DNA sequence: CGGAATGTTGAACCGTTTCAAACGGAGTGG
DNA sequence: CCACTCCGTTTGAAACGGTTCAACATTCCG
């Protein structure tokens, strides 16, 4: 097995291992899967609503977003995928996709056939468990987004998305701290939050004014994490990322 | 095995079988699980955010709703559970619950220990598959709700919820057709749709005026199903209820 | 460099909220 | 059977958060 292959796939394993106690043996099992690697430019579709793929895609680098489009053409972004995530795991069990996944930046994607993944999951219960946990966490995030979109005002809503995003990224090898890039246009932010691009613009400005965020071109920095968390009413528990139910929320300091 | 026991549990099996090709053998397996049955009054909590139950609950009769409460006390209903559903399946794989489940009407709940369900899922792959599919469908519904709450106006939003609800119920043994009871207060509807009870009231009145719905006390009847579907921009595909990917959307006419 | 996409700003507008008051129906106790 | 209360519904008027439209500035990218 090549060095590169190990590098790519081990990110998937690390991601899965976050949520579960996957054994060393199972990690090796994952690394022995046949795969192909490919790059996609920003804006490419990785999955389309209605598709019935026969392989799964692991996001190795870059960001992607999942969205639905209503009959009237209005778009709602329902999730953001970060490196280490398999964006179409669900198609292992339900043939057709219910939403689109589109690339936010240039992305590297590793493709593994459904057959290989299914066999693996059948042979190793802890892998099947890891897949299930991944889906449950997605569901939990979806529920929090509903609360966000349905019941919070624009300021809180944006703050919350920023908190979630920072938290998810900080937990995955990036330097812990308050600065990160968020490569979304204001229109994409609007579609994620159920608002208008114009209003995103104005509210972002308010957040900058209040000293909760600062932004360079296409990115955001967070000067005061605690202040933003308070403004957002953010509680990371729904991300299920702490060591099994320790609920300290400070596990990334270790 | 008593006649009553078979009756209760077979509803769960029927529900699961809707989404999957579960074998007769596995159905029998399900029916042999030890269980206890209990009634809950309207308004009872079946599951609380943060709970770590060691058993699963199958809703045999009645309706329940799942909700989250923000730090400011604002509530968002994120799902409605109908008879045949297991409302805490996820706690088989993730210890703590991320939302509350509360009874909408008087409910009968059958309780099965996690141990028994886990053993069953391990022994019978098609049962594990069925559990997974159930979770995926919940996720798909959550995504559609995000689109509903984030991008549709009040009229469309209410219509869509009504469509989804009618569709899910019609597929499960109730007489197919246009009349059903919806035992939610206007405040609960508001919390499900990200609106205000007052505005629900006004919009409901508009829908009645437009002839899209008619309502008796605590229920709704739909005089013209097609008209409501059009007004809602409703497409049932996200419910994944058609025979495997037939995608006709008219399967309930058979 | 030029054109397209994204960001910024203002003013008018409107869907929804807020507050407040009144109404209705179901259940309870006298 | 009435009086009382509770909870949900109904209605109105005013206020507000967010949208819309339109113009202009900026950045990105070939």
pLDDT at residue A224, rounded to an integer = 86
Query: Which residue ranges form the domains of chain A, and what is each CATH number?
Result: 3-144 (2.60.120.10), 153-253 (1.10.10.10)
Q: Does A28 touch chain B (CB under 8 A)?
A: no
* DSSP-derived secondary structure for B113-125: EHHHHHHHHHH-H
Q: What is the pLDDT of residue B252?
A: 33
- Residue A75 dihedral angles phi and psi, to the nearest 5°: -110, 140
- The pLDDT score that the predictor gives to residue B197 is 98
> For an interface test with A, which of B50, B137, B151, B234 has the most A Cβ atoms less than 10 Å from its Cβ?
B151
Token representation of residue A122? 């059948």
Interface of B with A in 231-250 (CB under 8 A): 233, 235, 237-238, 240, 244-245, 247
**pLDDT confidence of residue B35:** 84
Probe site for chain B from A21, A151, A160, A161 (most B CB atoms < 10 A): A151
Which pLDDT score, from 0 to 100, does residue A243 have? 56
| Residue B150 and residue A193 in contact, taking contact as beta carbons nearer than 8 Å | yes
The closest of B29, B26, B33, B93 to B58, measured between CA atoms, is B33
Q: Give the 3-state secondary structure of residue B221.
A: strand
Residue ranges of chain A whose pLDDT lies below 50:
173-174, 244-254
Which pLDDT belongs to residue B70?
95
Rounded to whole angstroms, the distance from the CA of residue A202 to the C1' of nucleotide C9 is 9
How far is residue B53 from each of residues A120, A144, B94, measured CA to CA in Å? 29, 21, 10
What are the average pLDDT values for consecutive 10-residue runs of chain B, which has 254 residues? 65 68 78 87 96 94 96 95 93 96 95 92 88 96 98 98 90 58 94 98 96 81 90 95 48 32
Find the closest chain A residue to B68 by CA distance.
A147
Task: Report pLDDT for A250.
Answer: 36
What is the pTM for the complete model shown?
A: 0.91
The count of other CB atoms within 10 Å of the CB of residue A62 is 20
pLDDT value of position B248: 37
Q: Could you identify the residue whose CA is nearest to the C1' atom of nucleotide D27?
A: A217
């Amino acid at each position: 097995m090549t060095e590169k292959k190990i590098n790519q796939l081990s990110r998937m394993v690390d991601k899965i291992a976050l949520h579960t106690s996957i054994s060393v043996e199972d990690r090796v099992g994952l690394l022995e899967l046949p795969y192909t690697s490919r790059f996609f430019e920003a804006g490419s579709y990785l999955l389309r609503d209605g598709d019935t793929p026969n392989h799964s895609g692991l996001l190795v680098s870059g960001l992607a977003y999942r969205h639905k489009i209503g009959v009237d053409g209005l778009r709602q972004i329902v999730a953001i995928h970060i490196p280490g995530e398999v964006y179409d795991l669900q198609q292992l069990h339900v043939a057709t996709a219910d939403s689109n996944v589109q690339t936010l930046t240039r992305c590297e994607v590793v493709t593994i056939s459904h057959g290989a993944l299914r066999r693996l999951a059948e042979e190793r219960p802890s892998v099947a468990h890891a897949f299930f946990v991944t889906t449950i966490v997605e569901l939990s995030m979806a529920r929090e987004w509903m609360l966000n979109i349905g019941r919070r005002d624009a300021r809180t809503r944006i703050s919350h998305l920023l908190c979630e995003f920072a938290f998810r990224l900080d937990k995955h090898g990036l330097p812990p701290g308050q600065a990160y890039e968020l490569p979304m246009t204001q229109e994409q932010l609007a579609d994620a939050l159920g608002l208008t691009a114009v209003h995103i613009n104005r509210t972002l400005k308010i957040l900058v004014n209040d000293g909760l965020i600062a932004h360079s071109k296409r990115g955001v920095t967070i000067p005061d994490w605690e202040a933003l968390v308070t403004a957002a009413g953010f509680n990371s528990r729904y991300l299920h990322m702490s060591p099994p139910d320790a609920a300290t929320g400070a596990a990334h300091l270790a």
